[in-house]
Amino acid sequence: MTELRVRVPASSANLGPGFDSFAIALPLLAEYDVRPARAWAVSIDGDGEGVPTGDDNLFVVGARAAAKAAGATLPPQHVTQRSAIPVGRGLGSSAAAIVGGVVAANALLGEPLDRRSLLRVASEVEGHADNVAAALYGAFTVAVPDDAGPVATRIAFPRAWRICLLIPKEALETETARAVLSPNVSRADAVFNLAHAAALLAAVLRSDGALLSIAMADRLHQPARAKLVPDLDDVVGAARGAGAFGAALSGAGPAIVAFAPARLAARVVAAMEEAAHDRGTSARGRVVRVRAAGAQVRRA
């Protein structure tokens, strides 16, 4: 008998200049049914694409990390996962699993951890806080590093804007996409991203598409990652040409995300698909809205 049902949204991080800081929650959901069992086990309903089902499953890792942070013992659980989040595309499938485990453990233990502690635990497991912040809080989030662990601030996303996603068939490991990044950044590039990230935030707060079309540029990660996602510039150019305010790599890629006014979103996603197909990349497009809700727990 299911004891808890946890739903966690997909997420798209970075959004151009906000490397490891910005993310939005998306309405592609991972759902986990949790019930007591003799030993931890995970069953995958549908396409699991190589998701581990043992102790190294990220839901289990997240749940155990939360119990440890709470100084509690969590009895073993059986988890059934149904996920609409494609794995290894830069859409936060790992963050969703970790956040799912963290919030499920917290609920089973009687809520010993507050939201900031949940964010800290999930970020420690994931290695960075951007995707987990959006998966936990929903909407548009800024994850801010702090000596006492990350803080996330949640901002409503303009209702009239749509998110156009281009999701390639081939996956790209985040580890590979982080390995190509240089450990050093020039002062000019740091200033460029600082100014663009601040402008992107102002554009979202004011629903200012004209400012967004300037703000959604990056020098910290996309130039290096373009080697791994060779269609990036063409797809971003096609999206902008079809009326998107801007476009960027989704997280570490290879998915690409564009922000567009609602009336142009179908045209933008078609242009992104066409640009990818012209370069021989198999990919499908989707138009979605930002999801306002983050992770949700329901007792069955």
Q: Contact positions toward ligand HSE, by CB under 6 A? A: 13-14, 19-20, 128, 130-131, 174, 178, 221, 251-252
104 vs 257, beta carbon nearer ligand HSE: 257
- Least distance in angstroms from the C-beta of 4 to ligand HSE: 26
CA separation, residue 30 to residues 97, 104, 167, 221 (Å): 8, 13, 17, 27
- Tokens read off for 235: 């797809």
70 vs 247, beta carbon nearer ligand HSE: 247
- Least distance in angstroms from the C-beta of 131 to ligand HSE: 5
222 vs 281, beta carbon nearer ligand HSE: 222
Amino acid at 99: V
- Least distance in angstroms from the C-beta of 19 to ligand HSE: 6
- 24 beta partners: 12, 140
Answer for the pair 165, 52: CB distance below 8 angstroms, yes or no. no
CA separation for the pair 213, 259 (Å, rounded)? 9
252 vs 290, beta carbon nearer ligand HSE: 252
- Least distance in angstroms from the C-beta of 2 to ligand HSE: 30
Task: Give φ, ψ of 152 to 5 degrees.
Answer: -120, 140
- Kindly provide the residue ranges of all beta strands, DSSP E only, lying in the chain, ordered along the sequence: 4-14, 18-36, 41-45, 77-83, 140-144, 151-155, 161-168, 246-249, 256-261, 283-288, 296-299
- DSSP for 173-206, written as a single string: -HHHHHHTS-S---HHHHHHHHHHHHHHHHHHHH
12 vs 81, beta carbon nearer ligand HSE: 12
CA separation for the pair 170, 172 (Å, rounded)? 7
- Least distance in angstroms from the C-beta of 267 to ligand HSE: 28
- 298 beta partners: 5
Taking alpha carbons only, the member of 291, 279, 5 closest to residue 157 is 291
- Least distance in angstroms from the C-beta of 212 to ligand HSE: 19
Give the sign of the dihedral formed by CA 164, CA 157, CA 214, CA 250: negative
CA separation, residue 62 to residues 50, 67, 78, 228 (Å): 18, 9, 14, 29
2 vs 153, beta carbon nearer ligand HSE: 153
26 vs 70, beta carbon nearer ligand HSE: 26
- Least distance in angstroms from the C-beta of 11 to ligand HSE: 9
13 vs 247, beta carbon nearer ligand HSE: 13
- Least distance in angstroms from the C-beta of 14 to ligand HSE: 5
